[in-house]
Structure 1
Amino acid sequence: MESDLRQWLLIIGPLLVLGVVLHGYYRMRKDRNELKMDLDKSYLSGDNVSQKDAERWSTSTEFPNGGARVIENHIEEKEFHKADYYPDSREEEISPEHKSLKEAEDLTDFVILNILTNSKRIEGQELLEFLMENEISYGEMEIFHKLDSQNEILYSLANAIEPGTFDLSGIDESEIPGVTLFMKIDGVNQAEMIFEEMLELAHKISEKFSAQIFDGTRSALTQQTIGHIRQNIREIKFKEMA
């Protein structure tokens, strides 16, 4: 039973994370466009908007590149809708073939590591305490994030099972078979260094909870795979500088 569950998670894991991260990315782009339209209308109607405010609004972002709302002393209860994490495909008139290709291309801009247990599940409270000790904060999209000194997201950690979120109000009674770490490469400064930090955390989780690390293609993470990931990061960053 546990073996079947792990195989199922390996199959849906990348799709789950892809839905989460692409939703955040597309919402970021959508919000920017809406803000730009609102600003344009304000200027046309003669509203007084300072240049400083306009720049602040037009550059405000949301996951994966923006800051996260860290929840320390309380939990913000909000209703979860599956559609929020899986955008309606009808919004874009793209053929299934082109859509699959587009998703595959988007996925290459992310590093995904799945950490799954073989049999014993991870207790939610123990995981929470471990993440707090390693300065991983609960925030945007009801998942965990590693933040820099400016509260910008470096990488994130999601639940390995659908819908990928964590409910802190019941985490002390929950048990999960694993977690998924992921980070964005494109447009991120020091992506290679961030990957090394994320990889270190993956190994810590693996050792702490007797779990195995898999890559985004559902294969066991090997030194060769790690080398390929590092090379992919370098190639993407090189293209950015070209």
Structure 2
Amino acid sequence: MDLTMRDWMVVVGVVLIVAVGLDAWRRVRRERNSKVKVKLVEPAGETSDRDEQIAWLKELPNGGARVVDRRDLINATNKSDAEKRQRAAAGRAKPPPVAKRPVPEEVELVSGMTGTDADPEPANLDWLDDIDEEEEVSAAAAVEADDDANDDEDEDEDERHSASAPDPGRLPRDVDPEVFMLNVMARDRAGFRGEDILHILLACDLRFGDMNFFHRHEFEAGRGAIQFSVANMMQPGVFDIDNMGDLETPGLVFFLTLPGPEDMMKAFDYMLETAQAVARNLDGDVLDESRSVMSKQSIEHCRQQIRDLERRMLARAH
């Protein structure tokens, strides 16, 4: 059977289509073989997604994704405490602020005896020659009363300093610091955005401060002793407050260093409540130090450790 020109064109077109398809398949196969794949092992059970996230964190390039651990937080806290002690020692070595003030040419020892109360006219001082014995006794009594008042003020000031000083029974003498950690890990692989982190932490009354961490203080607006702190989960654990919009992190680390807060149990409860609030608002999970689910048993175990620490501190104080 003879083939017409149209039949030959159809045959050639089919051959070309097949050739193009084979070439495309060859290219796709070659590209797949050239890719470097990182295989993640998914363990069975409910923790597979969380373990996959942790494995993904460890696979990030250049080794720059090491997760902050307990040792890092303790070292950062000890470094901050050492710097504070150095600043305090330097402050004590400086002369008191009173010494920097200009010394007045005339020191007023008794109220009313110098300054504008004294008449500059010499003739008006003749009445002092007529002062009687009773007035002298009254003046002496006034001076003595003024001295007594100054002594009372000094005693009151000492009492105020004593009241503001921490109770010696609560001082952490010879007690090794303990760090209690909670992790808030994002469910989404994209992690938490820096702007969202800043918004929720400020709403929970945390303030950016020492060591480039966020801190919750005893009183509002960043006043009082630090109760607990929040660090970035990824090394080096700090926040760049000027570039929070560029931050993306898989999680946050809440940590409480004891001894420290006056009411250690309340500080832990505050930290737990804040971590739960952050997890709810940012779509994350609250995990314990080992990045396991924070169960009621884990919470009670932490509280029991705090009670034991309080007992040890009380025993060493007596």
**TM-score range relative to shorter protein:** 0.5 to 0.7
Counterpart for residue 129 of structure 1: 199
CA distance in 1, matches of 2:242, 2:302: 36
CA distance in 2, matches of 1:173, 1:218: 26
What's the CA shift for 1:232?
0.8
Aligned match for 1:152, one of 203, 207, 225: 225
List runs of 5+ in structure 2 lacking aligned partners: 1-37, 39-52, 60-64, 101-153, 166-174
Give the letter for the 1:229 counterpart. Answer: C
Counterpart for residue 210 of structure 1: 283
Counterpart for residue 263 of structure 2: 190
Counterpart for residue 228 of structure 1: 301
Measured against aligned partners, the alpha-carbon deviations of 1:64-110 in whole angstroms (never above 9, x if no partner) come to xxxxxxxxxxxxxxxxxxxxxxxxxxxxxxxxxxxxxxxxx85x622
Give the letter for the 1:17 counterpart. Answer: L
Distance change (3 Å), C-alpha of 1:219 and 1:158: same
What's the CA shift for 1:200?
0.5
What's the CA shift for 1:136?
1.0
TM-score by length of 2: 0.50
Counterpart for residue 15 of structure 1: 71
Aligned match for 1:169, one of 242, 252, 262: 242
CA distance in 2, matches of 1:110, 1:206: 21
Number of residue-to-residue matches in the alignment:
185
User: Is contact 2:70–2:179 with CA below 8 Å preserved after alignment?
Assistant: no
CA distance in 2, matches of 1:220, 1:126: 23
Cα RMSD, aligned residues only: 3.1
What's the CA shift for 1:210?
2.5
Distance change (3 Å), C-alpha of 1:216 and 1:204: same
Counterpart for residue 84 of structure 2: 28
Counterpart for residue 26 of structure 2: none
What's the CA shift for 1:151?
3.1
Measured against aligned partners, the alpha-carbon deviations of 1:111-130 in whole angstroms (never above 9, x if no partner) come to 11122224231010011111
User: Is contact 1:10–1:218 with CA below 8 Å preserved after alignment?
Assistant: no
User: Is contact 1:156–1:183 with CA below 8 Å preserved after alignment?
Assistant: yes
The structure, 1 or 2, with the larger RCO (C-alpha pairs under 8 Å, 6+ apart) is 1
List runs of 5+ in structure 1 lacking aligned partners: 60-104
Counterpart for residue 109 of structure 1: 178
CA distance in 2, matches of 1:5, 1:19: 26
Measured against aligned partners, the alpha-carbon deviations of 1:137-170 in whole angstroms (never above 9, x if no partner) come to 1122221111122432111111111111111221
Q: Which moved more, 1:133-142 or 1:218-227?
A: 218-227
Taking only the aligned residue pairs, the percentage that are identical comes to 22
SS in 1 for 2:239: coil
Bigger Rg, which one: 2
SS in 1 for 2:207: strand
Give the letter for the 1:210 counterpart. Answer: D
User: Is contact 1:147–1:153 with CA below 8 Å preserved after alignment?
Assistant: yes
What's the CA shift for 1:32?
4.6
Q: Confirm whether residue 4 of structure 1 aligns to residue 55 of structure 2.
A: yes
User: Is contact 1:117–1:212 with CA below 8 Å preserved after alignment?
Assistant: yes
CA distance in 2, matches of 1:6, 1:202: 21
What's the CA shift for 1:35?
5.2
Counterpart for residue 94 of structure 1: none
User: Is contact 2:212–2:240 with CA below 8 Å preserved after alignment?
Assistant: yes
CA distance in 1, matches of 2:212, 2:284: 23
What's the CA shift for 1:5?
3.8
Flag the structure with higher helix content: 2
Counterpart for residue 252 of structure 2: 179
TM-score by length of 1: 0.64
CA distance in 2, matches of 1:220, 1:148: 28
Give the letter for the 1:123 counterpart. Answer: R
